[in-house]
Amino acid sequence: MTLIKPPQKPFHNYKWRWAVLTPTESLNDPPVFLGVLRAFNKFQNYAPSSEEIMKELGIVQKETNSRVDLVRTQERNLIRNSGQYWKALGLLDEAHGKVLVSPFGQLLAEGKITQVEFATTIIKTLELPNRKIIADTSDWDAADLKIKPLELILDTLALIAEKFGSDEAYITPSELVGIVVPLSGAKAPIENFADAIIQYRQSKIDISKWPNCATSSNDKRMAREFLIFLSNYGFCKREVYGGRNTNERYILSSISKEDVVELHKLDITQHELEKVVDQIRITQIPANVERKRVSREVLERPYQNVFRKNILKVFGSSCIVTGNTMENVLEAAHIKPVEYKGDDSYSNGLCLRSDIHQLFDSNHLRILSSGKLILSETASTKNNYGYLPRQIPIPSFVNAMLLDWRQKYY
């Protein structure tokens, strides 16, 4: 393995930018991110500072326990100050003085695509420079430089797994900023990314002599947001090591290296994001990621066996959707996920057949507090789950407010 030499910086102010120059990372948290998008979608064509939107954002802030002030003031409304978090991903269209959710954003807001389908589409299409939020791209254009950062991170992790083993298939924020960002600016071959990261871990190269692509105080935080996105939607798992929150590893998780390779080879022929989703679905990559993510999260939940026992008891060992009573295929599903402080009480659970549980946790099936069932476009076909009832009774011991929370924020 040849030692990787320091790359050349393509232009003076080269860096990776996620959305805004002063990041607010918690806006990427899916309940907040999706809750705000659904609030915008509910009030399409309203002024961002309108009383209706302000009130709705206040509800989102309260119900998601957002650490960020989503309401702000009429002069400093959320779109004006942080709207680029949604614009950067093609969810909001540019509109002067009003809220305009894009067709792609409407699909996500209305639950017609799942979170994983959304994230896979972004991974495949997000490109730097991001012309949705950056007006002046002359430096990038002069260098003839285009980068797909999320896809590049996954490609690098998959290659590390293949060449050096799954235990090494992780990346830290410092490795991203110090190695991946400079190499991508030099248009290095993908093999160099994996080799350089391993050589750095083995103390064979000194990246302090490499170009600094994080010259301002927020540049490292902006780059880290790419890793946060992959973690939020299950493609990487965030691990804190050494007892400090600043020591992070983002580990290749619910997507296999084979799926990463297939995603890289996929030739996107559409420009509209809402049409790219259909091309993504054909590959089965979102389905594979959703299945692995749900299985991993269930296995990692503490006291899952106790929770299952209690849920089966109160539901009379019967799937609330299908009526199936074979205990060996019945599972307990949390309504409000554990990762968002959902508890193990029976009021926060549903008894579901294992495949229905998969649909529920991957958002292909939504159960409203009224008992109405909503299936995604993929699940609703006759060959899949089109036969499922569209209305079911909800037991009185189930907390309807938790079903409402899930509908709005998950």
Q: Count CB atoms within 10 A of the CB of residue 66.
A: 19
8 Å CB contact between 374 and 388: no
Task: Spell out the SS3 assignment of 363-378.
Answer: CCEEECCCCEEEECCC
* Triad 261, 266, 269: Cα angle to 5°: 165
Q: Is the dihedral of CA 307, 312, 314, 319 positive or negative?
A: positive
Q: How far is CA 9 from CA 140, 188, 339, 344, in A?
A: 12, 12, 40, 52
Span 368-391, average pLDDT? 90
In DSSP terms, which residues pair with 331 in a beta bridge? 352
Q: What is the pLDDT of residue 298?
A: 74
Distance CA 11, CA 219 (A): 15
DSSP tag of 88 = T
Which segments of 213-334 are extended strands (E)? 236-240, 248-252, 330-334
Using the CB atoms, write b or e for 187-210: b if 16+ within 10 Å: ebeeebbbbbbbbbeeeebebeeb
* Triad 128, 129, 132: Cα angle to 5°: 105
Distance CA 321, CA 324 (A): 8
* Triad 96, 222, 27: Cα angle to 5°: 60
Distance CA 70, CA 178 (A): 33
285, pLDDT greater than 70:
yes
Distance CA 89, CA 124 (A): 12
79, pLDDT greater than 70:
yes
Burial zone of 297 (CB within 10 Å; 0-12 exposed, 13-18 middle, 19+ buried):
middle
Q: What is the pLDDT of residue 12?
A: 94
Query: What is the pLDDT of the chain when averaged over all its residues?
Result: 93
Q: How far is CA 155 from CA 33, 116, 150, 151, 389, in A?
A: 26, 18, 9, 6, 41
Residue 6 amino acid letter: P
Q: What percent of the chain has pLDDT over 90?
A: 82
pLDDT tens, residue by residue, 184-232: 999 999 999 999 999 999 999 999 999 999 999 899 999 999 999 999 9
Span 365-388, average pLDDT? 90
Task: Spell out the SS3 assignment of 302-324.
Answer: CCHHHHHHHHHHHCCCCCCCCCC
Q: DSSP string spanning 47-80?
A: -TT-HHHHHHHHHHHHHTT-SS-SS--STT-HHH
- pLDDT band of residue 72 (cuts 50, 70, 90) is confident
Determine the straight-line distance between the first and last CA of the chain, rounded to whole angstroms: 45
Q: Where are the domains of the chain?
A: 138-282, 301-409
Q: What is the pLDDT of residue 74?
A: 65
pLDDT tens, residue by residue, 163-173: 999 999 999 99
pLDDT tens, residue by residue, 119-154: 999 999 999 999 999 999 999 999 999 999 999 999
Question: Which position has the higher pLDDT, 300 or 16?
Answer: 16
282, pLDDT greater than 70:
yes
- pLDDT band of residue 32 (cuts 50, 70, 90) is very high
Q: Whose structure tokens read 């860096």?
A: 15
Q: What is the pLDDT of residue 19?
A: 93
350, pLDDT greater than 90:
yes
Of 303, 282, 286, 249, the residue nearest 363 (C-alpha): 286
Backbone phi and psi for residue 332, each to the nearest 5 degrees, phi listed first: -105, 125
pLDDT tens, residue by residue, 230-247: 999 999 999 998 766 668
Q: Count CB atoms within 10 A of the CB of residue 336.
A: 21
